[in-house]
Amino acid sequence: MIASPQTSLAPEQPTTTAAADRGLTYRPNVDVADCGNELVLIADIPGSAADQIDVSFDDGVLAIAATVPSRPQAGNPVRQEYGVGDYRRSFQIGEGFDGSQISAAYRHGVLTVRVPRLAAIRPRTIPVTAG
Average pLDDT over residues 103-130: 88
> What does residue 50 show for φ and ψ, rounded to 5 degrees?
-55, -40
From CA 115, how far away is CA 111, in angstroms rounded? 13
- Report pTM: 0.73
Burial class of residue 114, CB neighbours in 10 A (0-12, 13-18, 19+):
middle
Distance separating alpha carbons of residues 4 and 54, to the nearest angstrom: 26
CB hemisphere CA count around 117 (13 angstroms): 18
- Quote the Cα angle for 121-125-129, to 5°: 135
Task: For residues 3-19, give the mean pLDDT.
Answer: 41
User: What is the per-residue pLDDT across 65-109, written as a single tens digit (0 to 9) for each?
Assistant: 998 887 777 888 888 777 678 999 999 998 889 999 999 999 999
- Are the C-beta atoms of residues 47 and 84 closer than 8 Å to each other? yes
Written out in words, the top-level CATH class of the domain with range 10-70+85-121 is mainly beta
21-68 confidence digits (pLDDT tens): 446 788 989 999 999 899 999 999 988 999 999 999 999 999 999 988
CB 71 within 8 A of CB 81: no
pLDDT at 109 (0 to 100): 93
Q: What is the pLDDT of residue 77?
A: 81
- List the domain boundaries for the chain: 10-70+85-121
